[in-house]
């Protein structure tokens, strides 16, 4: 009997379109002999929708999404069902129900890659493909991520950060803080955003002010990082959970200089991952350097308690020193191009990720969630405060 897998994509995020593409790729490449796909689309207004029209990418390109059913996910524990939204059932309407064996989260960015949606499926106890609540939240917040990496002794560039309110209250204090800790040029980034949106390079104080004014439009926390001049970007994916993890081949984007734009990442790159075009796989680096990057990638993955599949991005300077730039817990196309040369097809990758999600879910349910103690009999109410135990 086929398992029903909900593929969740779209979302209220600046990375909405990227998520749709990833969701479509998962739907196209999932093993149809083993799984029945239930597409679940979150539109830009935050509505959850399903319907057969979501199985064809042309319907998104042509904006032909008119006959979708609005749905809700139950809040009941161990109830793996999705229901018609109550407002759309009507007097004679029939409630639409789907049972899900697992959910493949293909959401990118805010509200999908930051631990929020992961928490929903934790509460209702449905297996889901994702980095988990902690891994997603820490991996999304560049400040927390670097703090964790630093505590584990992983190589990172110098950085500092501040709140948007502090900038609005005292710009000179923020500028002084940055200039005391870092040298120009620097990168200014929203702490909780991906795909290069809101990120810019500042070569002097005027550029810094301009970059901050852009970044604060996207987040309340801003991180400023020391720039490494003329670096090479080397990326490596990691898959698994706990300490049972494996690293992919390394890749190097071609023509990369200071910053890959949104279009560079998702439009102009060579999605097939062959040598030439958008990226070199494997990266043209010494074997010992590739192994160092792979081992550091695995340590980075485990340091934030990540699960499933993630891509870790590195910077390498002219002396071949490496720095962990960031971890992408929901990489576009789930980074299948890094696994294919190792004999793991896109279909097999999806299969392995569903297996990991099932194992993580099974292990979670081995935990005890109740502890019997006669606590109530030892507490008395009746006054303004409860008496001490």
- Of the candidates 13, 15, 113, 252, the residue annotated as catalytic is 15
Q: What is the DSSP letter of 28?
A: H
Dist CA 266 CA 248 (whole Å) = 20
Phi, psi of 14 (to 5 degrees): -65, -10
Q: What is the pLDDT of residues 152-168, one digit of tens each?
A: 999 999 999 999 999 99
Q: What is the pLDDT of residues 342-353, one digit of tens each?
A: 999 999 999 999
Instruction: Assign 311 a pLDDT band (cuts: 50, 70, 90).
Output: very high
pLDDT for the residue 271: 42
**190, part of any domain:** yes
Judged by DSSP in three states, 316 sits in strand
Q: Which are the contacts of 224, defined by CB distance < 8 A and separation ≥ 6? A: 159, 160, 161, 178, 182, 186, 187, 188, 189, 208
Domain extent at residue 90: 3-129
- Of 226, 244, 270, which closes a domain? 226
Q: Strands 244-253, 279-280: parallel, antiparallel or unpaired by DSSP?
A: antiparallel
Q: Which are the contacts of 152, defined by CB distance < 8 A and separation ≥ 6? A: 299, 300, 303
Q: Which are the contacts of 343, defined by CB distance < 8 A and separation ≥ 6? A: none
Q: How many domains does the chain have?
A: 3
Q: What is the pLDDT of residues 25-69, one digit of tens each?
A: 999 999 999 999 999 999 999 999 999 999 999 999 998 898 898
Q: Give me the chain's average pLDDT, please.
A: 89
Are 100 and 194 part of one and the same domain?
no
Query: Is 333 annotated as catalytic?
Result: yes
CATH number at residue 214: 3.30.1490.20
Q: Strands 35-42, 3-10: parallel, antiparallel or unpaired by DSSP?
A: parallel
Which residues are annotated as part of the binding site for ATP?
142, 187-189, 195-196, 225-233, 325-326
pLDDT for the residue 380: 81
Q: What is the pLDDT of residues 60-95, one digit of tens each?
A: 999 889 889 888 877 677 767 777 766 655 444 456
Are 245 and 334 part of one and the same domain?
yes
Are 272 and 359 part of one and the same domain?
yes
Dist CA 291 CA 374 (whole Å) = 55
Query: Is 200 annotated as catalytic?
Result: no
Are 303 and 281 part of one and the same domain?
yes
Dist CA 146 CA 300 (whole Å) = 10
- Of the candidates 19, 136, 248, 333, the residue annotated as catalytic is 333
Q: What is the pLDDT of residues 254-298, one digit of tens each?
A: 875 555 554 545 444 444 444 444 889 999 999 999 999 999 999
Q: What is the pLDDT of residues 295-305, one digit of tens each?
A: 999 999 999 99
Q: What is the DSSP letter of 388?
A: P
Which residues are annotated as part of the binding site for Mg(2+)?
313, 326, 328
- Of 170, 192, 226, which closes a domain? 226
**377, part of any domain:** no
Query: Is 384 annotated as catalytic?
Result: no
Whether the predicted pLDDT of 306 surpasses 60 = yes
Q: Kind and range of the H or E element at 102?
A: strand 102-105
CATH number at residue 241: 3.30.470.20
Which residues are annotated as part of the binding site?
142, 187-189, 195-196, 225-233, 313, 325-326, 328
Are 197 and 248 part of one and the same domain?
no
Q: What is the pLDDT of residues 327-369, one digit of tens each?
A: 999 998 999 999 999 999 999 999 999 999 999 999 999 888 7
DSSP string, 225-259: EEPPSS-EEEEEEEEEETTEEEEEEEEEETT--S-
- Of the candidates 13, 84, 136, 195, the residue annotated as catalytic is 195
């Amino acid at each position: 009997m086929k398992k029903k897998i909900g593929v969740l994509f779209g979302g209220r995020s600046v990375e909405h379109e990227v998520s749709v593409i990833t969701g479509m790729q998962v739907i196209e490449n999932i093993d149809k002999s083993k799984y029945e796909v239930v597409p679940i689309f979150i539109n830009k207004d935050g509505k959850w929708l399903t319907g057969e029209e979501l199985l064809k990418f042309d319907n998104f390109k042509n904006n032909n999404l008119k006959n979708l059913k609005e749905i809700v996910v139950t809040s009941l524990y161990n109830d793996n069902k999705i229901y018609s939204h109550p407002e759309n059932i009507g007097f004679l309407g029939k409630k639409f129900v789907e049972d899900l064996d697992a959910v493949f989260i293909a959401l990118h960015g805010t509200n999908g890659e930051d631990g929020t949606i992961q928490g929903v499926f934790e509460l209702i106890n449905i297996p889901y493909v994702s980095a988990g609540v902690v891994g997603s939240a820490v991996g999304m917040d560049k400040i927390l991520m670097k703090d964790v990496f630093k505590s584990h002794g992983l190589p990172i560039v110098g950085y500092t950060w501040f709140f948007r309110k502090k900038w609005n209250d005292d710009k000179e204090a923020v500028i002084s803080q940055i200039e005391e800790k870092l040298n120009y040029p620097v990168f200014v980034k929203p702490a909780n955003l991906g795909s290069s949106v809101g990120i810019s390079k500042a070569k002097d104080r005027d550029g810094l002010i301009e970059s901050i004014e852009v970044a604060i439009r996207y987040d309340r926390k801003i991180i400023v990082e020391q720039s490494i001049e003329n670096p090479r970007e080397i990326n490596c994916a990691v898959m698994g959970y706990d300490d049972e993890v494996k690293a992919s081949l390394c890749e190097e984007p071609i023509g990369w200089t200071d910053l890959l734009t949104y279009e560079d990442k998702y439009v102009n790159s060579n999605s097939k991952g062959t040598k030439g075009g958008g990226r070199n796989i494997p990266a043209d680096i010494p074997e010992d350097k590739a192994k160092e990057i792979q081992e550091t990638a695995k340590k980075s993955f485990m340091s934030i308690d990540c699960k499933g599949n993630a891509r870790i991005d590195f910077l390498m300077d002219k002396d071949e020193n490496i720095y962990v730039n960031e971890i992408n817990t929901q990489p576009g196309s789930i980074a299948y191009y890094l696994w294919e040369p190792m004999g793991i097809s896109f279909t097999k990758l999806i299969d392995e990720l569903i297996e990991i999600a099932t194992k993580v879910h099974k292990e979670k349910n081995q935990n005890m969630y109740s502890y019997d103690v006669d606590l109530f009999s030892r507490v008395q109410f009746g006054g303004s405060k409860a008496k001490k135990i």
